[in-house]
Amino acid sequence: MLNYNSKIWWRFLFKPSGYFFEGMLWSIFFYGLLTTGLNFLYANYPLEAFNISPTFHTVLGLVIGLLLVFRTNTAYDRWWEGRKQLGMLVNTTRHFAMKVEGYLEDVQFTELIKIYTYVLKEHLRKQEYAELDRLCPDWMKEGINRADHKPNYLLDQMSKKVVAALKSGSITGEQLLVLENEIEKLSNIQGACERIRNTPIPFGYAIHLKRILLIYLITLPFGFVKSLHWWSIPLMMLVFFTMIGIELIGEEIEDPFGKDVNDLPFDELQDKIEGNIDEIHGKFKA
C-alpha cells in the first residue's frame, strides 16, 4: 500500500498510482494510433460511419458512468470492510495476548497468537507459507504442516489449551469465557476475510460492464473525428485513460489482501501485531 501526502499537490499528482497506470500506457498509445488512423481514413474516405451522432455516446456514456460508479463503490466497500477486519485483528490479538499473559503465563499460547496473523495472511493470499518454518516454533511445526486449513488448526489448538487450563485449575470458568470470547473474535475476523476473498464480483456483471465499455470506446472516435478532427486524438486518449483506469482500480482493490500497491498493508500490520505481542510478553517477564 502506497503512503502519500495529498497536501503536497505536485508531488502527489505525479506519484505513480500502481500497476494499472504503467500497464495502461501501451493501451493508451494504441488507442491513440487507432484514433489517428480513423482521422486519416476520414480525411480520404468520409464514410457514413463517421456521421454517428454524439448524442448516442452521450447517452451510453451516462449509463456506463453509473455502472462504473457502482463498480467502484462495490470494490471500495470490500476494501474498507477488509481494513476494518484487519483493525479488529490488531485489537483482538493485543487484548488476547494480555489476557493469556495475565491468566496463564503460557509461552506456547502466546506463540500460537503470534503465528496466527502470519498464517491468516498467507491463507488469504497464495498459501505459499514461505516463512512458516522460520517463524513457527519447533513444537508446533509437525501439526501445522499437516493441517489443510492452518488458521483453523491454530484456533483449535488455542481452544484446547483453554479447556486444558480449566481442567487443571489454572483458570476459572469466568476466565475461560473471556479467553474463548477472544478465540471467537479471531474466528469471526477470519470468516469475514474469507468471505471477502472468496466472493468475487458476479461474473455476469463484470463481463457485461467490460463488453459495454469496449463497445463504447471502439465506437467513440467515429462520433467525434468529424467534428474535432485531430483534436479527437488526445481527447479520446483522455477518455480511454479515465474509464479504463476506473475499471482497473476496481479490479485491484476488490481483493484487498494481496500484494498490489493499493491493497491493504497486511505485512506492516503483521509486524505491528508481532511487536505488540513481544512487548506484552517482555513486560510480563520483566
Taking residues 47-68, what's their average pLDDT? 82
Classify residue 280: in a domain, yes or no.
yes
**Cα 126 from Cα 117, distance rounded (Å):** 15
Classify residue 11: in a domain, yes or no.
no
Mean pLDDT taken over the chain: 86
* 97 lies in the same domain as 174: yes
Q: Is the pLDDT of residue 6 over 60?
A: no
* 97 lies in the same domain as 191: yes
For position 13, what pLDDT does the model report? 57
Of the spans 6-20, 117-131, 214-228, which averages the highest pLDDT? 117-131
* 148 lies in the same domain as 271: yes
* 158 lies in the same domain as 130: yes
Classify residue 9: in a domain, yes or no.
no
For position 11, what pLDDT does the model report? 61
* 67 lies in the same domain as 170: no
Q: Is the pLDDT of residue 205 over 50?
A: yes
For position 9, what pLDDT does the model report? 56
Torsion of CA 240, 244, 245, 251, to 10 degrees: 180
For position 21, what pLDDT does the model report? 53
* 153 lies in the same domain as 273: yes
Question: pLDDT per residue over 223-276, tens digit each?
Answer: 888 887 888 899 999 988 888 888 888 888 888 998 888 889 999 999 999 999
* 247 lies in the same domain as 205: yes
Question: pLDDT per residue over 131-169, tens digit each?
Answer: 888 889 889 989 999 999 999 999 999 999 999 999 999
Give me the sign of the Cα torsion angle 194, 196, 200, 205. Answer: positive
* 119 lies in the same domain as 168: yes
Percent share of the chain, pLDDT over 70: 91
Q: Say how many C-beta atoms besides its own lie within 10 A of residue 206's C-beta.
A: 16
For position 78, what pLDDT does the model report? 93
Q: Is the pLDDT of residue 114 over 90?
A: yes
* 207 lies in the same domain as 195: no
**Cα 75 from Cα 256, distance rounded (Å):** 9
**Residues 66, 216: contact at Cβ < 8 Å?**
no
Q: Is the pLDDT of residue 88 over 80?
A: yes
Q: Is the pLDDT of residue 2 over 70?
A: no
Percent share of the chain, pLDDT over 90: 42
Q: Is the pLDDT of residue 286 over 50?
A: no
Q: pLDDT confidence of 42, banded at 50, 70, 90?
A: confident
* 44 lies in the same domain as 143: no
Q: Tell me which residue range forms the domain holding 39.
A: 20-78+200-253
* 278 lies in the same domain as 167: yes
For position 246, what pLDDT does the model report? 86
Taking residues 89-93, what's their average pLDDT? 96
* 155 lies in the same domain as 274: yes
Classify residue 127: in a domain, yes or no.
yes
**Cα 273 from Cα 264, distance rounded (Å):** 15
Give how many domains the chain has, as a whole number: 2
Question: pLDDT per residue over 175-191, tens digit each?
Answer: 999 999 999 999 999 99
